[in-house]
Amino acid sequence: MSASANDLLVERLGNRFKQALKESSDFRGDLSIVLEPSSVVDVARYLKEEEGFDYFLYATAVDWPARDPRFTVVWEVRSLANKTRVRIKTTAAMPEPHAPSLTAVWPAADWHERETWDLLGITFDGHPDPRRILMPQTWEGHPLRKDYVSFGEPVIFSDQKLEGLEPDAIRG
Amino acid sequence: MGELKLRPVPMLTGRAAGPTPLNALGDNLLTTTLDKVINWGRSSAIWPALFGLACCAIEMMGTVGPRHDLSRFGSELFRASPRQADLMIVSGRVSIKMAPVLRQIYDQMPEPKWVIAMGACASSAGMFNNYAIVQSVDKIVPVDIYIPGCPPRPEALIDAVVKLQRKIRGEPLVKRSA
Amino acid sequence: MAETRVKQEPFGPGPTQEPFGPEHEPPTEWMELNMGPQHPSTHGVLRVRLKLDGEVVRDADADIGYLHTGFEKSFEDKTYTQGITFSDRMDYLAPPINNVGFVMSVEKLIEVDVPPRAQAIRVMMMELARIASHELWLGTAGLDLGVYSGFFYAWRDRELVLDLNEMYSGVRMMTSFTRVGGVAWDLPDGWLEQLQRFIDVMPARIDDFESMLTENPIWRQRLEGVGVLSREDAIEVGVTGPMLRASGVDYDVRKAFPYCGYEQYAFDVPLGSNGDCYDRYRVRVQEMRESLKILQQVVGSLPSGPWLPNNRKVALPPRSELSKSMESVIHHFRLVSEGFKGPAGDVYAFVESPRGELGFYLVSDATNKPYRMKVRPPSFCNLQPLKKLVQGVLLADVIAIMGSMDFILGDVDR
């Protein structure tokens, strides 16, 4: 994406959503926009319907323990027709970080947001199915956080009680 | 000496062998010869259970493929149902979520059964010393043969199966060695 | 025979045909069937919980995570060069492509140019990996549907690619052949001749395979009209790769955003029109032929020159220099022990793997290790619409659909 096209998009966004756009950057040709959490869904809808960003790429979050707010939640989408990309970022603070879910705008965000909840603990408000996806349902903790120690976890066997949640292993 | 009458029930072996007549006979010329025959039979047709987990499973499929043909060594078929298999080749990394499933499949296999830990991840968690991978599959099931490699070549898997066959033939029928 | 009522339990919210709950008793009993994680047709350790109404599937829930390895956490702990060895094991059917994607994200971050010979070597290894992966797919997806002999044909061809891998990198599968800025080694003697023999022999073998399957009435009946994903739906649910192209969307990363010199090579991108399993099969077989075309062009136009950039801050100096120059030794020492640092920032680099767009989102905090390396796996995105695709199909079609998605659990779970 050429630099001027990125700048024009930022300009249009700035005109349309005045307070929402906190900052934007164009690092190595990748356009990122940082938004207020409350305006993310509106901007997303605008990007999809009027700017043509129809293809969802991924959603994730980055944990910066030294910063406050701690998490930066990232979604990236692409416009297949215009061959452009934009990275939408917002922040989420401890305790109980949460961000709006974009599954209403891009249904493909479903599993990506579930994974972000599972591995980083960001609750997505309005997500239709907020379950863990990669770790077992009874897992405690969010492995990709920087304060999560990564070694030596015990294995849960089928004869141990799994209270209230769907069993992961098939029980005979 | 007369005809040796065997009880008309399936012969139990190993730990399941209680005080059967065969057990009570101990090691004599007849039982050791019978041992040899039965062990030869068992080792010549080891049918693995389909238990491919990750990258090593692809090399396991390569071992079954036309260039390195595992069925030359008796492993004609990989059985999808563990009830019909006698070898479990744990090929690939075992994650925490998969570990209870692994144990259940192992339990569902009837005796006698053997386990080959194929690859670095099954033998010792390989390069993944983290929260998600069980650090060696022998924490969950008893392993007979470990194969190093990431992934091991098909020739290495064939070598392991041949070694296992020799191990099986060395086992007496009445007592199962650990 | 007494009829027992099966307790209807919802999986969780999601698009289903009838509402759940005790107040909406459906007229028939739905059986919950568990498929996997140990199952011959799930292509790895995938668990799918199906709700069956007789032979018809009413709902499905894909339970993944049985191969979750913590790659993204591991990447944070390793330098950029150490991470290359890890990246192989994610999509383990085409490891060279993971390698290239990983180093591309680092190269984008630190802005280092890759010499042309290294780019050509990368293209050759990637296209070989694409052929090997599609062959494997043909073999295993066919195996699920009953093509037992096809598995052996496919593997015979795959072994040729693995031989080439081994000649080049020493390893059959996990090549780890890229380094940041280039590739690790130059091509050995005789490799190009062997590759040429491969290119000469393959078209006939692909034709062989096609003659066995493409017009086969059983194959067509199993695959045509099954798992249809329309063009709009395909973009909406975010599928990628051959699944997207079979639905008629002309998007291939190699054409849309060329990398590693793909713009120099002439090749077509096969597109389907119906978006069913049969189209996906046709797209993948045609892609193998296009890969052979690309390989032939690269062999014909291979540039000479270095395979690592001359930048001692990023790439190891040649071994011959180590005995002559103290500075080289110091550079070598620093690169091997500590690695190099990049600027702070975040980049997204992506390549076309046989499954679709494989992306690496790298966040750096100006140290020698990635701060966060998020992998955008194509198989994860392709597996997402399983719930939607299998509603109302027969159980046997579920196998065909899962086969046509060509997902690999190493990629899905990471």
Nearest Cα of chain C lies from the Cα of A15 at a distance, in angstroms, of: 26
pLDDT score of C340: 87
Q: Which segments of C30-83 are extended strands (E)? A: 31-35, 47-53, 56-63
B residues 67-126 closer than 8 Å to A (CB) = 96-97, 99-101, 103-104, 108
Measured CA distances, A101 to A49, A57, B11, C109 (Å): 17, 15, 61, 29
C323 in helix, strand or coil?
Answer: coil
Mean local confidence (pLDDT), C79-89: 90
Amino acid C175 reads T
Which residues of A have a CB under 8 Å from any CB of B?
A: 135-136, 143, 148-153, 155-158, 168-170, 172
List the domain boundaries for chain B. Answer: 48-169
A51-73 burial code (b ≥16 CB/10 A, e <16): bebbbbbbbbbbbbeeeeebbbb
Residue C354: HSE in the Cβ half-sphere, 13 Å Cα cutoff: 33
CATH fold label, C80-413: Cytochrome-c3 Hydrogenase; chain B (1.10.645)
Q: What is the CATH number of domain A3-125?
A: 3.30.460.80
Distance separating alpha carbons of residues A42 and A117, to the nearest angstrom: 22
Choose between C9 and C37: higher pLDDT: C37
What's the pLDDT band for C33 if we cut at 50, 70, 90?
A: confident
Q: Radius of gyration (Cα) for chain C, nearest Å?
A: 23
Mean local confidence (pLDDT), C144-165: 90
Nearest Cα of chain A lies from the Cα of B83 at a distance, in angstroms, of: 14
Q: Which of C36, C21, C43, C5 is nearest to C401 (CA)?
A: C43
- In the block, tokens 């998600």 appear at B132
Determine the residue among A1, A28, A76, A145 to mutate to test chain C binding: the one whose Cβ has the most chain C Cβ atoms within 10 Å: A28
In tens, the pLDDT along A49-85 reads: 888 898 999 999 999 988 888 899 999 999 988 888 9
Mean local confidence (pLDDT), B138-159: 90
pLDDT score of A20: 79
Amino acid B7 reads R
List the domain boundaries for chain A. Answer: 3-125
Judged by CB atoms closer than 8 Å, whether chains meet at B100 and A153 is answered as no
- Whether a cis peptide bond, with omega within 30° of 0, leads into C318 is no
**Length of chain C, please?**
414
φ/ψ (deg, to 5) at C389: -75, -30
Mean pLDDT of chain B: 80
Nearest Cα of chain B lies from the Cα of C121 at a distance, in angstroms, of: 24
pLDDT score of A89: 92
pTM, whole model, 2 decimals? 0.85
Nearest Cα of chain B lies from the Cα of A70 at a distance, in angstroms, of: 23
Straight-line distance from the first to the last Cα atom of chain C, in angstroms, rounded to the nearest whole number: 48
Residue of A152, A153, A169 with shortest CB distance to B100: A169
Distance separating alpha carbons of residues A39 and C100, to the nearest angstrom: 37
Question: Per DSSP, what are the bridge partners of residue A98?
Answer: A123
**Chain centre distance of CA C314:** 28
Which residues of chain A have a pLDDT value below 70? 1-3, 150-172
Distance separating alpha carbons of residues A136 and B53, to the nearest angstrom: 17
Amino acid C279 reads D
Q: What is the CATH number of domain B48-169?
A: 3.40.50.12280
Q: Radius of gyration (Cα) for chain B, nearest Å?
A: 18
What's the pLDDT band for C310 if we cut at 50, 70, 90?
A: confident
φ/ψ (deg, to 5) at B96: -60, -35
Mean local confidence (pLDDT), C280-296: 93
Number of B/C CB contacts below 8 angstroms equals: 93
Residue C2, pLDDT > 90, answer no
Residue C125: HSE in the Cβ half-sphere, 13 Å Cα cutoff: 34
A123 close to A130: Cβ distance less than 8 angstroms: yes
pLDDT score of B14: 54
Q: Which of C186, C231, C227 is nearest to C392 (CA)?
A: C227
Judged by CB atoms closer than 8 Å, whether chains meet at B98 and C45 is answered as yes
Distance separating alpha carbons of residues C287 and C159, to the nearest angstrom: 19
Nearest Cα of chain C lies from the Cα of B95 at a distance, in angstroms, of: 6
Residue C57, pLDDT > 50, answer yes
In sequence order, what DSSP letters do the residues of chain A get, joined into one string?
--HHHHHHHHHHHHHHSTTTEEEEEEETTEEEEEE-GGGHHHHHHHHHHTS---EEEEEEEEE-TTSSS-EEEEEEEEETTTTEEEEEEEEE-SSS-EEE--TTT-TTHHHHHHHHHHHH--EEET-S----SSS-TT--S-TTSTT---S-PPPPPTTS---SS--SSPP-
Straight-line distance from the first to the last Cα atom of chain A, in angstroms, rounded to the nearest whole number: 55
Distance separating alpha carbons of residues B84 and A58, to the nearest angstrom: 43
Q: Is C306 exposed, middle or buried (0-12, 13-18, 19+ CB in 10 A)?
A: middle
Residue of A143, A152, A169 with shortest CB distance to B104: A169
pLDDT score of C15: 47
Lowest mean pLDDT among A54-63, C5-14, C236-245: C5-14
In tens, the pLDDT along B24-57 reads: 556 667 767 787 888 888 888 889 988 888 889 9
The chain B residue lying nearest A168, using CA atoms, is B97
Mean pLDDT of chain C: 87
pLDDT above 90: percentage of residues in chain C: 38
The chain B residue lying nearest A134, using CA atoms, is B97
